[in-house]
Structure 1
Amino acid sequence: MPAERGQPLSAGCGRGLIAARAPGCPTVKNCDSDGMALITLRRNFCHISDFWIPGAVAALKIHPANHVQKIVKDRLPVWIYSLQPELFRVRFHYSYCKNFHSENGNDLHPAAEPWVSQVQEWNQPQQSLKNEDEEMLYRRLHSFISPEEVLSFIGTLDTVPVILASAALHRICELGHRNGEQSLPKGILENSIFQALCFQCERDPSHLTNASLVMTLQSLVRLSVDSQSSLVLNLMTECQSRLQRGSLEAHHLCILGESLIRFQGSGCEILELVIFQLQSENLENFTPEDIVAIYRILQACPEKLDQHQTFLNTINSFSLSMVSYLSPKSISHILTALVALDQTHALPLVIKLGKYAVRYVPRFTNEELRKVLEAFVYFGHSDRFFTEALEQHVAAQCLSMDPDVTSSVMEYCSTKRILSKPIFDAVAESFVCQSEKFSPHQISKLIGPFGKLNYLPPNASALFKKLESVLFARLRYFPPKMLLSLLHSCSLIERHPVNFMSKIFSPFFLQRLQGKESCLDRVSLAQLTQLFMTSILECAFYKGPKLLPQYQVKSFLTPCCSLETPVDLHLYKSVVTGLIDLLGSRLYFGSKVLTPYCYTLDVEIKLDEDGFVLPFTMDEDVHKRVALCIDGPQRFCSDRKHLLGKEAIKQRHLHLLGYQVVQVPYHDLELLTSRSELVEYLQRKLFSQNSPAHW
């Protein structure tokens, strides 16, 4: 029960003990002088169970008879929980309408002053009764399921202390947000009882407890109340006063900090004082909810990250011990804050949050799951158990998942090169069934990973047929670069966009693609060039426009966003050593050779017409060229012996260009234990019995 008591919200208008009586119930004229009247009143109440009189509790409390105290204490819980709002006949009068109130016809007391005339006369049992009464009022308040019920209940009370008014405001706001409303209906905001609650909190904030004060401010934030209103300004002034006195505890500071950000932004001077006091608090005083609030406060002040980084480092370390107590929502909030604050050095915390996120995958909301996935993508984190939980969740819920979450799942798989067939198959089925739900951006994020990870789902025919129909219907809504990347992804898995090649090779599309820039970016040019090569090598029936030479690149291997994966240096050195031992000299093969077809070969070996190895410097009498692909882990899907799409199309094109493609994958080389075994392995690869090559 709150320790402080505030002003009454309303004033009784000179009521005696009974303001309305039931039939057969005798009128009590003077309660203090007639003990038998109380007994008669008690007997009548035993027969009228649904009859309760506002104000009667206050009058009974001050009666000195012990047996009356016991009767009231025994009967009070039953009466309060059997209340029916429509039976209340005595409504309170708002404090701004009445300046004075009277109790039992005694002296009037100013409504602006606490009514304490009888409190000092109460003995200990009577004080306990009052505490029990308030506790029951709060429990009743939290049993309602709509703002209207709360207002109806408040309207039946004779007096509403400021603390109860604060609790009622908070409950109304809480119920409004629980129902999915961003703000309360106009009817609630204009309700006279609701306005009276606001007035009560505005008039007398000094009588609020610390908890009630900050919770009221938090409620007003959720209600989108004007930050310059007198109610908010009064509460802010009181908060600042207590803040300067250092009387706010850690939990209150966290609530206040978030409210200040919403009302006044990160530049608020009071917020700096809140953060300063938070830094001086003992970390053991923070609950998991407080830790989440601190992250959100700091997240709102990224421009001040440098001056708060030491405090943030402390919170990052302390949070490791709190992860097991965090809810799914809290885990999502912290990961989001770590991304916003660029805490790439806090990987231990990210990893531990990821471990606990595994168990919460089915419990995350769509938005929370999306934020978790975005954080994992940002930090480059992946977890096998998290992926397994995600597979089960997506397979079961894909058709009901938000399209934004579905595309985020695919982006997570794409970034970490996770070829999860359960996820890809479920997503493909979802797109075929409800393609109209996906925006162009979401479609691009959803289809791209199929090409990148070189995977065709069981319903590939239906998937790409649906994609083609969507593109025909909504082509103008796809930004040029997004459309180019999408069509390029399709070509990686031999789903060539022949019906759209004439559009993307046209001068009109190229001008749109270039936009206001002076020239096209390197990645777009490389994608256009590879699509053009595809039209020549794999789509001989295509007779549309060609890509002009000025839009073609010379090499697909670029420092960033390359269409080829650079060779693994460690594997390359190992294979080169084995080739020297096998061929007898470095002279007989070339390394990192750029071909006239834009592809770079890891190793190239030239053969004459009889299959003998020629020195690499010779260009005459070359009958066959061997392209040795030293494929490291980065050229495969994660934890799978499955080539990525860009490596598959490279080997496919090299084969069509006449090269003899020899693949040397890392998982074969890892099995070799000696240099002699490596030489024997390369000999089998290059000079097998079916191969015409000799040395």
Structure 2
Amino acid sequence: MALITLRRNLCHLSDFRIHGALAALKSQPVNHVHKAVRERLRPWFSSLQPEPFRVRFHHACCKKFHSENGNDLHPVGEPVFSQVHDLDSFEQNLKNMDEEIFYSRLNSFTSSEEVLSFINTLQTLPDTMAAAALQRICEMGKKDGEQGLPKEILENHVFQALCVPFEQEPSNLSNTALVTALQALTLLDVDPQSDLLLNLVAECQHRLQRGGLEVHGLCVLGESLIKLQGPGCATLDLVIYQLQGEKLENFHPEDIVALYRILQACTEKADQHQTFLNKINNFSLSIVSNLSPKLISQILTALVALDQTQALPLVIKLGKYVVRHIPRFTNEELRKVLEAFIYFGHNDRFLTTALEQHVASLCLTLDPEVVSTVTEYCSRKQILSEPILNAVAETFVCQSEKLSPSQIAELIEAFGKLNYLPPNASDLFRKLEDTLFTHFNSFPPKTLLKLLHSCSLIEHHPVNFMAKLYSPYFLQRLLGEESHLDRLSLAQLTQLFLTSILECPFYKGPKLLPKYQVKSFLTPCCSLETPVDFQLYKSVMSGLIDFLGGRQYFASKVLTPYCYTIDVEIKLDEEGFVLPFTVNEDVHKRVALCIDGPKRFCLNSKHLLGKEAIKQRQLRVLGYEVVQVQISGSQDKEAAFMRALEWDTGSPTSQFCDLGQGDRPCCRHC
């Protein structure tokens, strides 16, 4: 292992060392050193100011020399160190220092200056530790949001001494030090054409071609090349090829995740690597228990990017461990985890419970992006979680100014889709109305339309904004550069207009022009109604035929003049007798049978979705007697049908009786 010397009095040792700022600079005239350092560091970080790069040193260019009167000299910009203790007490030989202690101290520092001060107290430094120190400095530079390191760090003599051997003699570095130094410099906005980077990359390529890099080094090199040269570089293909030849049992969990990240960057070549990906997906099942929350999030993100829909066993197993780690995820990690579960269609009641506890405990401190994603997860999976939705409503009321228009729309759409009103509904919609009045034009037209349509699903009709929706100006904005409006937007406009007629008779504003109205809400795509469950439909049809005595006494899939499609319609005369469906005279009452399968309810519940609730609500306003039917095929059809007819939401109990005249069945309220 190479040792890097940071002290002047050890600069002539024969083994490989960094000639610290004292030795490396003392041995040459100041002007010559000044010029050499300037030329060497000029191209490193593109974010440096364009003014000439200058390195300032004291007359002896050293920090540790004692002056004749015993006082220390301190370079400009360097912290002053206490000299209460003897100077030699700071000189620690890292050959004998426990590496764990070194890395522990290194990770405990919170600024680059602290790292440099610590390094400055050391006598010799193995190259792997020097590379780790360089990486820590760059990590903190990135954490501070800088594109490059500050000039104070670049001009620091310890930092310069730390970097010299990585540029001048990379062939003497160990594999670990080599790839770690390369990885460190790619954390910041580094000029790819700098001598330092070019030399490091060249040495890595040389060792790669000789097959001299182990698994971890290949993974680090692969990720570094992606950042420096992009995923299309030829060297990266060689890295992946060599990784494919390694046994996955030799990979640490961190290396497996790094492998996912490398392949994620090459999504356009995912098909070429699918066989390799299948092996990785299968092997990853055995390491899930050893993954940190960060690594779990990264794997799920990669699986989404690589469209690994066939890796559902891995997704499911990751989901089980996600439940355990929910409180430990950062906001960004949790958001990506939930986005992956949305993408793969994964849901788990234990995950829902863990999310409920997490969201409720951090209600007003969660990042808006996380709140939005958690809400989208519940909405997409049709999960009616009252704790989550209540927390979301509270967050909106208290922190609406932190939410973007699209995030606000996502929150309200969830309430509409799941047909749920939180306890603070009055505060929620008052706040929403104030926000819309203030920022109406800030909402994209389609986003605004979805938001207001969602309000109508849960009977909070946006009457104050309907006139704006039907105005030519808004419709033109909604149209944008398209030649015609999409089907979903037209359906939402039509249902809002129908709502203003049926449920808001006091609305006297502009009407929606006929050319913007649809004829049916049930379409193959972008439908505002849920298609009937076919198996359930067949059972009901069979029961009706047996019970009524013929197919002519009911009609199925009837499109009403008000755009809704009724699963089954039965016509009754004034006395309650069933009429053939072809008869249009003497119809006193119409019964709408809603054959509600599981897809019309929230997940694992009997709570209707918003689009089904508004349909049944408005059918009642139109004069239909709405009866919900939900039976299983294993039941006695006639008995089940009779029981189903006794289940009537919101209207008097209805049932068929056996009173009839001849072959004419009868239906009355008994």
TM-score range, shorter chain: 0.7 to 0.9
Q: Is residue 639 of structure 2 the alignment partner of residue 677 of structure 1?
A: yes
How many angstroms does 1:297 deviate by?
0.5
- 1:470-509 correspondence to structure 2 within 5 Å: 470-509=435-474
**Which of the residues 613, 618, 634 maps onto 2:599?**
634
Distance 1:254 1:585, change over 3 A: same
CA distance in 2, matches of 1:130, 1:491: 71
CA distance in 1, matches of 2:644, 2:549: 13
Q: Is residue 373 of structure 2 the alignment partner of residue 405 of structure 1?
A: no
Deviations 1:114-139 (CA, angstroms, capped at 9, x unpaired): xxxxxxxxxxxxxxx87315857777
Residue number in structure 1 paired with 2:304: 339
Deviations 1:412-468 (CA, angstroms, capped at 9, x unpaired): 000000010001111101110111000001101111110000000000000000000
How many angstroms does 1:561 deviate by?
2.0
Residue number in structure 1 paired with 2:258: 293
CA distance in 1, matches of 2:439, 2:646: 52
CA distance in 1, matches of 2:95, 2:191: 35
* 3-state DSSP of counterpart to 2:321: helix
Deviations 1:442-496 (CA, angstroms, capped at 9, x unpaired): 1011111100000000000000000000001111110000000000000000000
CA distance in 1, matches of 2:575, 2:454: 40
Preserved contact between residue 6 and residue 163 of structure 1 (Cα < 8 Å): no
Residue number in structure 2 paired with 1:693: 667
AA aligned opposite 1:401: L
How many angstroms does 1:361 deviate by?
0.6
**Which of the residues 202, 206, 213 maps onto 1:237?**
202
- 1:241-256 correspondence to structure 2 within 5 Å: 241-256=206-221
Deviations 1:481-527 (CA, angstroms, capped at 9, x unpaired): 00000000000000000000000001111111011111110000000
How many angstroms does 1:325 deviate by?
0.5
AA aligned opposite 1:687: Q
Distance 1:352 1:180, change over 3 A: farther
How many angstroms does 1:572 deviate by?
0.4
Normalising by structure 1, report the TM-score.
Answer: 0.81
Residue number in structure 2 paired with 1:223: 188
Q: Is residue 43 of structure 2 the alignment partner of residue 8 of structure 1?
A: no
Residue number in structure 2 paired with 1:261: 226
Distance 1:187 1:584, change over 3 A: same
- Of the structure 1 ranges 533-542 and 221-230, higher mean CA displacement relative to structure 2 is found in 221-230
CA distance in 1, matches of 2:617, 2:132: 70
How many angstroms does 1:166 deviate by?
2.4
How many angstroms does 1:164 deviate by?
4.8
Residue number in structure 2 paired with 1:445: 410
- 1:94-113 correspondence to structure 2 within 5 Å: none
Residue number in structure 1 paired with 2:541: 576
AA aligned opposite 2:307: D
**Which of the residues 44, 48, 52 maps onto 2:87?**
52
Normalising by structure 2, report the TM-score.
Answer: 0.84
Preserved contact between residue 165 and residue 201 of structure 1 (Cα < 8 Å): no
Distance 1:163 1:604, change over 3 A: closer
Deviations 1:568-594 (CA, angstroms, capped at 9, x unpaired): 001000011110111000110011111
**Which of the residues 542, 553, 566 maps onto 1:601?**
566
Residue number in structure 2 paired with 1:585: 550
Preserved contact between residue 165 and residue 200 of structure 1 (Cα < 8 Å): no
CA distance in 1, matches of 2:538, 2:289: 46
AA aligned opposite 1:225: V
How many angstroms does 1:6 deviate by?
2.4
* 3-state DSSP of counterpart to 1:307: coil
CA distance in 2, matches of 1:247, 1:437: 52
How many angstroms does 1:294 deviate by?
0.6
Preserved contact between residue 94 and residue 125 of structure 2 (Cα < 8 Å): no
Preserved contact between residue 18 and residue 162 of structure 2 (Cα < 8 Å): no
- 1:94-133 correspondence to structure 2 within 5 Å: 131-132=95-96
* 3-state DSSP of counterpart to 2:96: helix
How many angstroms does 1:188 deviate by?
1.4
Distance 1:618 1:247, change over 3 A: same
* 3-state DSSP of counterpart to 1:434: helix
- 1:67-216 correspondence to structure 2 within 5 Å: 79-80=89-90, 131-132=95-96, 135=99, 141=106, 144-156=109-121, 162-177=127-142, 183-216=148-181
CA distance in 1, matches of 2:384, 2:220: 43
* 3-state DSSP of counterpart to 1:482: helix
Cα RMSD of the aligned pairs, angstroms, is 2.7
CA distance in 1, matches of 2:258, 2:238: 16
Preserved contact between residue 9 and residue 160 of structure 1 (Cα < 8 Å): no
Distance 1:223 1:690, change over 3 A: farther
How many angstroms does 1:165 deviate by?
3.6
Residue number in structure 1 paired with 2:399: 434
CA distance in 2, matches of 1:628, 1:570: 15
How many angstroms does 1:377 deviate by?
0.7
CA distance in 1, matches of 2:334, 2:177: 33
Residue number in structure 2 paired with 1:68: none
Aligned length: 596
Distance 1:676 1:654, change over 3 A: closer
How many angstroms does 1:600 deviate by?
0.4
Residue number in structure 2 paired with 1:616: 581
**Which of the residues 488, 494, 501 maps onto 1:529?**
494
Q: Is residue 519 of structure 2 the alignment partner of residue 545 of structure 1?
A: no
How many angstroms does 1:7 deviate by?
3.2
CA distance in 1, matches of 2:427, 2:632: 40
Preserved contact between residue 672 and residue 678 of structure 1 (Cα < 8 Å): no
Preserved contact between residue 9 and residue 159 of structure 1 (Cα < 8 Å): no
How many angstroms does 1:398 deviate by?
1.8
CA distance in 1, matches of 2:108, 2:356: 39
Residue number in structure 1 paired with 2:428: 463
* 3-state DSSP of counterpart to 1:601: strand
AA aligned opposite 2:513: L
CA distance in 1, matches of 2:94, 2:126: 13
Distance 1:372 1:182, change over 3 A: farther
* 3-state DSSP of counterpart to 1:464: helix
AA aligned opposite 1:7: R
CA distance in 1, matches of 2:123, 2:348: 59
Distance 1:557 1:335, change over 3 A: same
Q: Is residue 616 of structure 2 the alignment partner of residue 651 of structure 1?
A: yes
CA distance in 1, matches of 2:2, 2:609: 64
How many angstroms does 1:181 deviate by?
5.7
How many angstroms does 1:141 deviate by?
5.0
Q: Which runs of 5+ in 1 are unaligned?
A: 25-47, 54-78, 84-128
AA aligned opposite 1:421: E
Q: Which runs of 5+ in 2 are unaligned?
A: 5-14, 28-59, 71-82, 648-653, 660-665
Identical residues among aligned pairs (%): 66
AA aligned opposite 1:6: F
How many angstroms does 1:149 deviate by?
2.2
* 3-state DSSP of counterpart to 2:273: helix
Rg larger in structure? 1
* 3-state DSSP of counterpart to 1:604: strand
Preserved contact between residue 183 and residue 222 of structure 1 (Cα < 8 Å): no
AA aligned opposite 2:537: Y
How many angstroms does 1:676 deviate by?
4.3
AA aligned opposite 2:16: G
How many angstroms does 1:672 deviate by?
6.5
How many angstroms does 1:195 deviate by?
2.8
CA distance in 1, matches of 2:342, 2:236: 32
CA distance in 1, matches of 2:538, 2:573: 26
CA distance in 1, matches of 2:473, 2:66: 85
CA distance in 2, matches of 1:362, 1:144: 25
AA aligned opposite 2:17: Q
CA distance in 2, matches of 1:249, 1:547: 69
